[in-house]
Chains A and B, each alone.
Chain A
Amino acid sequence: MPKQEILDPQGQAVANALPRLGFEGVGEVRQGKRFELEVDDAVDDATLARIAETLLANPVIEDWTVRRADA
């Protein structure tokens, strides 16, 4: 997700479109990305965090979280 202090023009465009479609009451929209990785059980959380930090996200402008789900 773009960091809170980073202006998110894409999210703003979505937010501006909602009232035009009749959806009221949405104050703010922020747009991010989700990656789904299929990994071996041997890949631990620390490795996933390194993957997120070094490639999937740019920590200068984006916050990230890792969530593990069973297939």
Chain B
Amino acid sequence: MSAGARIGVVTFPGTLDDVDASRAVRRAGAEAVPLWHADADLRGVDAVVVPGGFSYGDYLRCGAIARFSPVMTEVVAAAGRGTPVLGICNGFQVLCESGLLPGALHRNVGLNYVCRDQWLRAENTTSAWTTRYEPGAEVLVPVKHGEGNYVAEDAVLDELEGEGRVLFRYVDGNPNGSARDIAGITDARGRVAGLMPHPEHAIDPLTGPTDDGLGMFLSALDALVAA
């Protein structure tokens, strides 16, 4: 366990889940470092979490404005150097808009905002954010989104599948109609990850359905220790 690991948590105007994300980081044993959207400064953090919410009111498209914020310029540069980055929900949308992850998140099939506890199957367990999971393990984590329908060209989907870059897949019902039941993906190096479900809301049975989500934050700590 790396007591000295510092994980940044980004706050945009309209971010909702930065408090829970910071709590998850602390629960995993790292220091949570607040990062402000208007600062082109990552404060020397070892990893970054881009949490959920409605950055810039979801104006234009979810994540489209956040992508151009000063902090995201730094996040993109850090990701290029191999810094682990995790985008959750709106954060996943921001990472796709930023080009750090392929594809896009489209309006849910059925148009309904979906808020429920969702079963996921862990598929890639070698990324910086998922080594604590057993391949095929099923975890229960909340989802809450209106635009979580992951879409990409077939060639991109085939590449993601072929390279084992699907992190989690929905099981027992797909909440949003995403292609191939994809809930989350990682980049080619396994350092940048994004998913629609909320692991930060499932770190403690007192406040979430399970503590299944904590493994993502513990995984990142492991990756930082190993680095």
Q: A9 near B: Cβ within 8 Å?
A: yes
Total residues of chain A contacting the partner, CB 8 A: 11
A9 touches B104 (CB 8 A): no
Q: A60-B103, A60-B104 are in contact. Are A55 and B111 (CB under 8 A)?
A: no
- Pair B110/A58 contact, Cβ less than 8 Å: no
Q: Does any Cβ of B come within 8 Å of A56's Cβ? A: yes
Which of B60, B68, B108 touches A56 (beta carbons < 8 Å)?
A: B60
A64 to chain B, nearest CB (A): 12
* CB-CB nearest in chain A for B99: A60
Find the B residue at minimum CB distance from A6.
B151
Chain B residues with CB under 8 Å of A55's CB are 60, 64, 68
Please state if A9 and B64 are interface contacts (CB–CB under 8 Å): no
Chain A CB within 10 A, most for which of B97, B102, B106:
B106
Does residue A18 face the partner (Cβ distance < 8 Å to B)? no
B223 at the interface (CB under 8 A from A): no
Q: Which of B153-187 contact A (CB under 8 A)?
A: 153, 177
Q: Are A58 and B61 in contact (CB under 8 A)?
A: yes
Which residue on A lies nearest to B109, using beta carbons?
A9
| B151 cross-chain contacts in A, Cβ below 8 A | 6-7, 60-61
8 Å CB contacts to B: which residues of A11-46?
13
**Which residues on the A side are within 8 Å of B102 (C-beta)?**
60
> Which residues in B have their C-beta under 8 angstroms from that of A61?
104, 106, 151
Give me 20 A-to-B residue pairs in the complex whose CB atoms sit less than 8 angstroms apart, sorted by A's number: A2-B106, A6-B106, A6-B151, A7-B109, A7-B149, A7-B177, A9-B108, A9-B111, A10-B107, A10-B111, A55-B64, A56-B60, A58-B64, A60-B96, A60-B104, A60-B151, A60-B152, A60-B153, A61-B104, A61-B151
